[in-house]
Amino acid sequence: MHISPVLWQFLVKWLNASALFPREASTIAPYADALYFFLLLITVVGLTLVGTLIFGFAIRYRKEKHPVAIQVEGSTLLEATWTIIPLALFLICFVWGALLYFRIYNPPTNSMNIYVVGKQWMWKAEHEGGQHEINALHVPVGKPVQLTMISQDVFHSFSVPDFRIKREVIPGRYSTVWFQATTPGSYHIFCTQYCGTNHSQMIGEVTAMTPDDYQKWLQASTSGMSLAQNGERLFASMGCNACHTGAAAARGPNLAGVYGSKLQLTNGSEVLVNDAYLRDAILNPSEHVTAGYAPIMPTYQGQVSEDGLIDLVEYIKGLQSNYRIQQTLVTTESDQAAPTTPAGVKP
Ligand code: HEC
Ligand SMILES: [Cu+2]
């Protein structure tokens, strides 16, 4: 991705080499930097202009030359000029910034998803195939990667300066950020929200790899169970399938295909079912009761960890119309394998 003339490349390389500036390692980075340099440029021009005028006027209109002050009545032309030019500059910054904001915060539809759980004081990444890593994140280059992030305790903020991304990681709510790495290598992860004693140690490393290497890494780090498979187990061991059997007469609605659909609620509103809604439906079921059903679903607040919730969400997301068959298979299988550890806690 190049928006950059030779001069630009030269400037960035030079700043980078003199340790003044992070590398540009994502597709967004040159765009973020372009706005940054533009702001820097108009600031320097403004500073020079104002500074020169102050010094120039101080010398030119000093007391020895002009002992008596003259009343100046103003100039419409001058005032209009110093109003319209800055206004235009600020509007350019606003529109440019807004366009960049949408580009940065709207992940492309073909992006792959990785979950990130932040807690005092570490980052945990969970890949869809069930690979877990701590203070590390492996990603392929040339592919948009979306991070769905949540905190287990206080506010954190996930930041990779080389990718020019940064987003708050909040307890109780999923937030997302995305990037597309351009160059294989390793890049620093920071927590950029002061989060307690060891905040400064809440760091890690993104390893951007060629797609082939990434596949190899996935294979080598597999735990044998994908997130959805873990979720399927939990779904059975926590008794969700007692009500969500998939049958029409069941006490709970069929969850197959519910992800991405619009649900009609008893209070008359309509909601889009996304990751955040699924998570909330499990923790606060009485807050949004699906039309046509009694509010009998118990809350699972405090009974399932963020990891467990991610597994359940991944499982429900993947449920297609063959849900019922899948479900019967799972029930028998995992009744024997019911974990003795609290739900969602992985060894
Ligand atoms: C006692 C029966 C019962 C149990 C147990 C139960 N649910 Fe529910 N669930 C319901 C009912 C009834 C609704 C619809 C009314 C509502 O929204 O509260 C529902 C709604 C939902 C929804 C919202 C989507 C929709 O189509 O309405 C999700 C997601 C969900 N349940 C997941 C789960 C999960 C995951 C578990 C286990 C951790 C679980 N449920 C356990 C009865 C149950
Ligand atoms: Cu933190």
pLDDT averaged over every residue in the chain = 84
In this model, does residue 344 exceed pLDDT 50?
Answer: no
**Whole-angstrom distance, CA of residue 239 vs CA of residue 241:** 5
**Percentage above 90 pLDDT, the chain:** 41
Under 8 Å CB-to-CB from 157, ≥6 apart: which residues?
166, 167, 168, 169, 191, 192, 193
**C-alpha of residue 154 to centroid of ligand 2, in Å:** 8
> Which CATH number belongs to the domain containing residue 247 in this structure?
1.10.760.10
In this model, does residue 330 exceed pLDDT 60?
Answer: no
Closest to 164 in 3D by CA, of 151, 137, 182: 182
Looking at residue 93, its pLDDT comes to 94
Total of domains in the chain: 3
Between the alpha carbon of residue 22 and those of residues 10, 25, 73, 281, the distances in Å are 14, 9, 50, 41
Of 105, 139, 160, the one marking the end of a domain is: 105
Cis peptide before 96, with omega less than 30 degrees from 0?
no
Confidence grade of residue 295 (pLDDT, cut at 50, 70, 90): confident
344 belongs to a structural domain:
no
Of 65, 89, 105, the one marking the end of a domain is: 105
Same domain, residue pair 234 and 331: yes
Which of 57-61, 126-130, 316-320 has the weakest average pLDDT? Answer: 316-320
**C-alpha of residue 148 to centroid of ligand 2, in Å:** 16
> Which CATH number belongs to the domain containing residue 143 in this structure?
2.60.40.420
In this model, does residue 278 exceed pLDDT 70?
Answer: yes
User: What atom of ligand 1 comes closest to residue 255's alpha carbon?
Assistant: 26
Same domain, residue pair 97 and 193: no
Which of 15-19, 195-199, 297-301, 340-344 has the weakest average pLDDT? Answer: 340-344
168 belongs to a structural domain:
yes
**Whole-angstrom distance, CA of residue 131 vs CA of residue 69:** 77
Looking at residue 4, its pLDDT comes to 60
Closest to 29 in 3D by CA, of 58, 67, 3: 3
Same domain, residue pair 117 and 216: yes
Closest to 46 in 3D by CA, of 82, 7, 96, 91: 82
Residues with a CB atom less than 6 Å from ligand 1 = 235, 238-240, 242-244, 251-253, 255, 258, 263, 278, 281-282, 285, 289-290, 293-297, 300, 312, 316
> Which CATH number belongs to the domain containing residue 82 in this structure?
1.10.287.90
- In eight-state DSSP terms, residue 299 is P
160 belongs to a structural domain:
yes
Same domain, residue pair 212 and 280: no
24 belongs to a structural domain:
yes
345 belongs to a structural domain:
no
pLDDT digits (tens, 9 = 90+) for 141-179: 999 999 999 999 999 999 999 999 999 999 988 998 999
In this model, does residue 204 exceed pLDDT 80?
Answer: yes
Domain range enclosing 34: 6-105
Pick the ligand that lies closest to the CA of residue 123: 2
pLDDT digits (tens, 9 = 90+) for 87-114: 999 999 999 999 999 888 888 888 899 9
In this model, does residue 219 exceed pLDDT 80?
Answer: yes
Mutate to test the pocket of ligand 1, among 240, 289, 314 (most ligand atoms within 8 A of CB): 240
Confidence grade of residue 325 (pLDDT, cut at 50, 70, 90): very low
In this model, does residue 299 exceed pLDDT 90?
Answer: no
Q: Mean pLDDT, to the nearest integer, of 70-92?
A: 91
**C-alpha of residue 169 to centroid of ligand 1, in Å:** 26
Of 188, 220, 252, the one marking the end of a domain is: 220
Same domain, residue pair 200 and 121: yes
Confidence grade of residue 2 (pLDDT, cut at 50, 70, 90): low
Same domain, residue pair 82 and 138: no
Q: What share of the chain is helix, strand, coil (3-state, %, to 5)?
A: 40, 20, 40
Looking at residue 169, its pLDDT comes to 94
